[in-house]
Amino acid sequence: MMKISLLGTGLIGTFYTMSLHAHRRKDVIHTVCSIPESSARDFAMKYDIPKYTENMKEAIEDDETEVVIVALPNYLHKDAILMACKAKKHILCTKPLALNAEEAREVLDAVEKAGVFHGYLEDLVYTPKTLKAIDMVNNGSCGRILWTRSREAHSGPHSAWFWDKKQSGGGALVDMGCHCIEIGRSFIGKDIKPVEAMCWAETQVKPIEAEDHAIALIKYENGAISQVEVSWNFRGGMDLRDEVSGTEGTIRLDHWLRTGFEVFTTGSTGKYVSEKTESDSGWLFPVGDEVHALGYPHMFTDMLDSLEQNRQPRETFYDGYVVNAIMDACYKSAKSKKWENIDLVVWRGKEGITSNVELIDFDDHHFLIKKEKMPDGKIKLMLKEKSTGSIVQKYVDE
């Protein structure tokens, strides 16, 4: 059993607590910290947490605490992490790890020097569907991964600091693109180097400095491409979708709006439906178990088991650093309107992978391009002649 200090009791602190204290789990939040202190006290009472404070240092240095969870606004992650390193506590930090790659590298360096366990709380790679999909990809079900698409869109975040670039580090891209980027990496291979980014980011609707809508493409050294779509202007709930496309298969995941659970109601109860749902009447798309659908229980199981078993979790601060570096390149590209290099001062994956197209032999004289069964039942082949390079078509019997 681990005793945990939770810093921040907002939306994510609540989801984390619901996950950690549910289903007779053994790890407990022992101290909780938020401002004003009354919010920490109310939260502690609600979730049966023995101690509360508004003083971050006090929560981190609590003698009984082994693990600190950072669930604070983005601009406070670095200070909290450095304080926890000093106190030699193990650290789990929510996304994004930091405001930018430079800051992320600083905290990565700090946890490694302090020798404490570090986990990057990127829940969306831990949803049951995503874990299964990653497993299938790793087992070769989709062949060589060529393209991933990850989309997160809703009507905008729920606290003032998100909307202020100085406190958040950016807009929709920093807030949600970090999820999409890490989902793409998880399917393409986290040891494959992301090399270039191209990004469009605009403030389409909201009166803010940061972007409320962005689309990015991330090129990987092996030729794979990852497409990231984020918006704070999307109406109708929270759109969370992923797609993977490879030489042998395709995966489509819908996590929120179309999960196979549809309800019609006149709205007479006015009750909460699910995160970022905009209406409580008409046809609704509730989510059966939000914390599971978002991956939190599997994430904490991996984190705390890894800590106990002295191994690395699926997501570490190093992954958080790579994600911050990719986002920095996206912002550079949004300004320059060009492909920008992803500056990974620290790279621990493979180097020099090429994106060779694999040619499939049909016979001694042809490569196979494609085979298709036509409406008349015949099989049509597209072939490339090895000697001339000409493309030819041919019908064959089944």
Ligand X SMILES: NC(=O)c1ccc[n+]([C@@H]2O[C@H](COP(=O)([O-])OP(=O)(O)OC[C@H]3O[C@@H](n4cnc5c(N)ncnc54)[C@H](O)[C@@H]3O)[C@@H](O)[C@H]2O)c1
Interface residues toward ligand X, by CB under 6 A: 8-13, 33-35, 39, 56, 71-74, 76, 94-95, 121, 123, 159
Q: How far apart are CA 75 and CA 357, in angstroms?
A: 44
Q: What DSSP string describes 65-105?
A: --EEEE-S-GGGHHHHHHHHHHTT-EEEEESSSSSSHHHHH
Residue closer to ligand X by CB (options 12, 342) is: 12
CB of 372 to ligand X, least distance (A): 42
Residue closer to ligand X by CB (options 10, 223) is: 10
CB of 197 to ligand X, least distance (A): 20
CB of 251 to ligand X, least distance (A): 21
Residue closer to ligand X by CB (options 39, 301) is: 39
CB of 207 to ligand X, least distance (A): 20
Residue closer to ligand X by CB (options 154, 366) is: 154
Residue closer to ligand X by CB (options 32, 142) is: 32
Answer yes or no: are the C-beta atoms of 74 and 101 closer than 8 Å: no
Give the helix ranges, DSSP H, for the chain.
11-20, 37-46, 56-61, 77-86, 101-114, 128-138, 165-168, 172, 178-188, 290-293, 296-308, 317-336
DSSP 142: T
At 327, list the tokens: 């986002």
* Angle, in degrees to the nearest 10, between helices 317-336 and 178-188: 110
Half-sphere exposure of 283 (CA within 13 A, CB side): 6
**Nearest C-alpha neighbor of 153 from the set 240, 217, 275, 256:** 240
Residue closer to ligand X by CB (options 33, 228) is: 33
CB of 383 to ligand X, least distance (A): 48
CB of 287 to ligand X, least distance (A): 13
Residue 241 CA from chain centroid, whole number: 11
CB of 368 to ligand X, least distance (A): 44
Residue closer to ligand X by CB (options 114, 183) is: 183
Q: How far apart are CA 257 and CA 253, in angstroms?
A: 11
Helix/strand/coil (H/E/C) assignment for every residue in 43-63: HHHHCCCCEEECCHHHHHHCC
CB of 282 to ligand X, least distance (A): 26
**Nearest C-alpha neighbor of 301 from the set 63, 22, 95:** 22
Residue closer to ligand X by CB (options 145, 322) is: 322
Q: Which residue is nearest to ligand X (CB)?
A: 10
